Homo-oligomer: A and B are copies of this chain.
Amino acid sequence: MTHYTPPLRDMHFVLHELLKVTDTLKTLPPHAEVDVETLNAVLEEGGKFASEVIAPLNQSGDAEGCTLNRDTHEVTAPSGFKAAYAKYVEGGWPSLGCDAAYGGQGLPVTLNQCLYEMLNSANQAWTMYPGLTRGAYECLHAHGTPEQRQTYLPKLTSGEWTGTMCLTEAHCGTDLGLLRTKAEPSVGPSADGSYLIIGNKIFISAGEHDLAANIVHLVLARLPDAPAGSKGISLFVVPKFLVNADGSLGARNAITCGALEHKMGIHGNATCQMNLDGARGWLVGEPHKGLNAMFVMMNAARLGVGMQSLGLTEVAYQNAVAYAKDRLQSRALSGAKAPDKPADPIIVHPDVRRMLLTARAYAEGGRALAVFTALLIDQELSSTDAVVKEDAADLVALLTPIVKAFLTDNAWIATSHCMQVFGGHGYVREWGMEQFVRDARINMIYEGTNTIQSLDLLGRKVLLDKGKKLKKLVLLVQQLIEAEGGDGAMLEFINPLADLGEKVTKLSTELGLKAFTNPDEVGAAAVDYLRVVGHLVFAYFWTRMARVALDHQASDDPFYKAKLATARFYFAYLLPETAALIRSARAGVKPLMAMDESLF
């Protein structure tokens, strides 16, 4: 019952009018030849795949779910998922952003980010199968031995094999230092430098399925001489099927799915309990440095989670708009707008518009931030200018927790609003709206809960380096204020942006001082702080988008009128949240810790 139209016009706007990405890509040797036409052509084809091939499987996949054969330990994805994946591989989509050395197309992350937004709008559960592959690819690309890279990367690039991340155990998720899975060097005649891995993992997305010939698990485990805690964790590559020297598949490895989790949403993705019963694995990177290696994957995954929520926000918005234009119910308080009909379409009601515009402003603001961050990653990876590279890396580090937590919290708000637009029909499965809400909920939890993201932002990214990274963001804001502050037409955006920029700087300093006295002050303020900085970033992009829109006010293109109206809505209705957030961010740890644990 849901529908999805790839938002190509808005993607073109962000890529070419707002960020002018090809100007930046030209400065990066691997992407110097990427032009507007190439980007647009790929997006158009990607959008077709998303809307025509996997979107029709979203509701059916949710209803059907995955099934585990308890005898063979094999998992079957919902009907149609395997065939859609074969088409994805056939179309060359997995290789889009991969290294040409392993058969990839070497296209920029910026482009891949837009593709993933569309795939997630169409079907988040399906997209997690290739999505996790991407993380495994990046981890092995960065930390694998030449032999490991040669063995795995071409197959992950082509999509012939998929990947997973095996981190969580029943007793540890956030605190991986507690993990117990063991790796022992294999001995005796079969000793080949591999390790035998014994343990149990839970919550392994795409841990077992029938989409690909092999699954490449990246597994955290402890070596026999490992120190306790997070400094004793190593990373291993553990293929589902061992790989022969000629690249063909060998014996089934002792890593199997013991059970599937029954979840609130993302039913189409197999969330597996994985048992490692002496599975053979090979060390990736240095002993005991597994967490560092895994963080390469985690950062990519965190941005990926932001894309999931951006995708859900967009598709929920599209469906709610269609319903609000179609559904006739009551008259506008200001008088009938469709007197020829038995009632007005509900889009005439201010609060319905407010719910729709909230989703729209979060989708379009999120898209600008996501593409901007992806372009920074391209600069970080490929710039030949050391300063550009470092600035980009700093901003990516700062923005990653914001993309993850702010976009996923926003999607929870937005999908719930869009469901509300449907009234009772929103609560019923056939309309598909409640699935967006259920799917969106996991994004606030996995790849580090949003609380963990906020601690990463305030504790590590802002306070630990004494605001160095934050200043780079504030500098961007200041440059915009200086550039635009002289234009009277821009003051409605520039004034609140400047005001919030000052408040963020002041709040950061204040929280830094409080953290000296009591480190728990960071934990008390971090979640609010992240949302305040998220709004600063959105206000920055909405100001820039308003600038472009104002430049086209003479044109007849209604796109710019809508953009300007959405910018004004953002400043009038969403930015004011910061007034409350700053107050509670300053409320301090005392009201939280005053109550003795026993009194809860």
- Cβ 8 A contact of A428, one of B261, B419, B437: B261
- In the bound assembly, the distance between CA atoms of A45 and B579 in angstroms comes to 46
A577 / chain B contacts, CB cutoff of 8 Å: 580
A593 / chain B contacts, CB cutoff of 8 Å: 350, 353
Among A329, A353, A446, A558: residue with most chain B CB under 10 A: A353
A315 to chain B, nearest CB (A): 15
A421 to chain B, nearest CB (A): 10
Whether the pair A178, B449 counts as a contact (CB closer than 8 A) is no
Whether the pair B178, A434 counts as a contact (CB closer than 8 A) is no
Whether the pair A173, B445 counts as a contact (CB closer than 8 A) is no
- 410-453 of chain A: CB within 8 A of chain B: 412, 416, 419-420, 423-424, 426-430, 434, 437-438, 441-442, 444-446, 449-451
Is A213 on the interface with B (CB-CB < 8 A)? no
A58 to chain B, nearest CB (A): 16
A288 to chain B, nearest CB (A): 18
Whether the pair A595, B562 counts as a contact (CB closer than 8 A) is yes
**Contacts A262-B430, A446-B424, A524-B351 hold; do A576 and B569 have CB atoms under 8 A apart?**
no
- Cβ 8 A contact of A263, one of B330, B427, B589: B427
Whether the pair B203, A558 counts as a contact (CB closer than 8 A) is no
**Contacts A350-B593, A424-B168, A527-B351 hold; do A520 and B332 have CB atoms under 8 A apart?**
yes
A573 / chain B contacts, CB cutoff of 8 Å: 584, 587, 591-592
Whether the pair B332, A424 counts as a contact (CB closer than 8 A) is no
- 219-241 of chain A: CB within 8 A of chain B: none
A313 / chain B contacts, CB cutoff of 8 Å: none
- Cβ 8 A contact of A350, one of B412, B424, B576, B589: B589
A323-364: CB near B (< 8 Å → 1, else 0) gives: 011001110111000000011010111111110110010000
Chain B's closest residue to A332 (CB) is B520
Whether the pair B562, A591 counts as a contact (CB closer than 8 A) is no
- In the bound assembly, the distance between CA atoms of A523 and B175 in angstroms comes to 47
- In the bound assembly, the distance between CA atoms of A174 and B330 in angstroms comes to 7
Whether the pair B591, A424 counts as a contact (CB closer than 8 A) is no
Is A578 on the interface with B (CB-CB < 8 A)? yes
Is A36 on the interface with B (CB-CB < 8 A)? no
Among A203, A347, A587: residue with most chain B CB under 10 A: A587
- In the bound assembly, the distance between CA atoms of A121 and B98 in angstroms comes to 51
Among A172, A333, A520, A587: residue with most chain B CB under 10 A: A333
Interface residues on A, range: 35 or more
Chain B's closest residue to A229 (CB) is B342
Whether the pair B592, A569 counts as a contact (CB closer than 8 A) is yes
Judged by DSSP, the binding face of A is: helix
A264 / chain B contacts, CB cutoff of 8 Å: 427-429, 434, 437-438
Whether the pair A351, B451 counts as a contact (CB closer than 8 A) is yes
A591 / chain B contacts, CB cutoff of 8 Å: 357, 565, 568-569, 572-573
**Contacts A350-B523, A579-B580 hold; do A558 and B596 have CB atoms under 8 A apart?**
yes
A345 / chain B contacts, CB cutoff of 8 Å: 597
A519 / chain B contacts, CB cutoff of 8 Å: 333-334
- In the bound assembly, the distance between CA atoms of A578 and B441 in angstroms comes to 26
Is A518 on the interface with B (CB-CB < 8 A)? yes
Whether the pair A325, B263 counts as a contact (CB closer than 8 A) is no
Whether the pair A427, B449 counts as a contact (CB closer than 8 A) is no
Is A554 on the interface with B (CB-CB < 8 A)? no
A579 / chain B contacts, CB cutoff of 8 Å: 579-580, 583
Is A31 on the interface with B (CB-CB < 8 A)? no
- In the bound assembly, the distance between CA atoms of A343 and B438 in angstroms comes to 31
A597 / chain B contacts, CB cutoff of 8 Å: 325, 345, 347-348
Whether the pair A173, B429 counts as a contact (CB closer than 8 A) is no
Is A522 on the interface with B (CB-CB < 8 A)? yes
Whether the pair A329, B173 counts as a contact (CB closer than 8 A) is yes
**Contacts A423-B445, A520-B334, A600-B325 hold; do A592 and B175 have CB atoms under 8 A apart?**
no
Chain B's closest residue to A412 (CB) is B416
CB pairs A–B below 8 angstroms (28 shown): A174-B423, A262-B429, A263-B427, A264-B427, A264-B428, A321-B600, A334-B520, A350-B523, A350-B524, A350-B592, A353-B593, A357-B595, A360-B600, A412-B416, A423-B445, A424-B446, A558-B598, A561-B599, A569-B591, A569-B592, A569-B595, A572-B587, A572-B591, A573-B587, A573-B591, A579-B580, A579-B583, A580-B580
Further 5 A-B residue pairs, CB within 8 A, beyond A349-B451, A565-B591, A573-B592: A175-B330, A263-B429, A333-B522, A423-B445, A572-B588
Taking Cβ atoms with an 8 Å cutoff, the residues of A that contact B are: 168, 171-175, 177-178, 202-203, 261-265, 321, 324-325, 328-330, 332-334, 342-343, 345, 347-354, 356-357, 360, 412, 416, 419-420, 423-424, 426-430, 434, 437-438, 441-442, 444-446, 449-451, 454, 459, 518-520, 522-524, 526-527, 558, 561-562, 565-566, 568-569, 572-573, 576-581, 583-584, 587-589, 591-600
* A-B pairs, 9 with minimum CB distance: A576-B583, A580-B580, A350-B523, A264-B434, A565-B595, A350-B524, A333-B519, A562-B599, A572-B591
